[in-house]
Amino acid sequence: MKNLTKIFLALLLGVTLSQAAAFSKDAKFHSTTAHITAEKPLTTGSNVVVVELKKAGKVISDAKVSLKAFMPAMPGMPAMVSKVNAKNLGNGKYEAKLNLAMGGTWQLHIFIAPKEGKKSRIKTTLNF
C-alpha cells in the first residue's frame, strides 16, 4: 500500500509538471541553447513565452534579449512580424509577449546580446 501511494504521488506530480507548460520547445545554435515555454498553448494573437538561455550548460544572465517572430508573405497575406524586447526574469529566463496574427508556421529568431562576449542568434520555428 505504501508503494502504491508513492506511485500515485509520482503520477500526480508528473501530471502537475506537464501542465505547467502547455508549450515547450528546445532550440540551439552552437553551444547556446534556448528552452522555450508558454503556460498556455500558442494561439492567434498575444502569446507570453519564456526563453531559458544557456551557453555550454551555464545560464546566460544579464543579457539583452529580443525575439522576432515572422511569417513571409503568402498568397492573400502580407508579411507579418512581431519583434519585442524580452524582460529579464533572472536566472537565465527571459519573457516576451509575441503577437502571432495567424495560425501556421512562424520563424522565430532569438537575439542574445550578453554583457560580455559575442552576440548570438538562435533560429527556430513556432507552429500552431
Asked whether the beta carbons of 36 and 25 are under 8 A apart, the reply is yes
> Sign (positive/negative) of CA torsion 69, 72, 73, 74?
negative
Q: How far is the CB of 113 from Cu ion (least distance, A)?
A: 29
Residue 124 DSSP class: E
DSSP string, 6-59: HHHHHHHHHHHHHHH-SEEEEEEETTEEEEEEESS---SEEEEEEEEEEETTEE
Residue among 53, 69, 71, 122 that touches Cu ion (CB under 5 A): 71
Residue 77 in contact with Cu ion, rule: CB under 5 A: yes
When the beta carbons of 48 and 74 are compared against Cu ion, the nearer one is: 74
Q: Which stretch binds Cu ion (CB under 5 A): 44-52, 53-61, 62-70, 75-83?
A: 75-83
The site that binds Cu ion (CB under 5 A) totals a number of residues, namely: 5
When the beta carbons of 59 and 77 are compared against Cu ion, the nearer one is: 77
Burial classification of residue 103, based on how many CB atoms lie within 10 Å of its CB (0-12 exposed, 13-18 middle, 19 or more buried)? exposed
Q: Which stretch binds Cu ion (CB under 5 A): 31-39, 85-93, 95-103, 107-115?
A: 95-103
Q: Which stretch binds Cu ion (CB under 5 A): 7-15, 28-36, 61-69, 102-110?
A: 102-110
Which residues inside 10-69 make contact with Cu ion, applying CB under 5 A?
none
Residue 16 neighbours by CB under 8 Å, 6+ apart: none
Instruction: Enumerate binding residues for Cu ion (CB under 5 A).
Output: 71, 74, 77, 102, 104
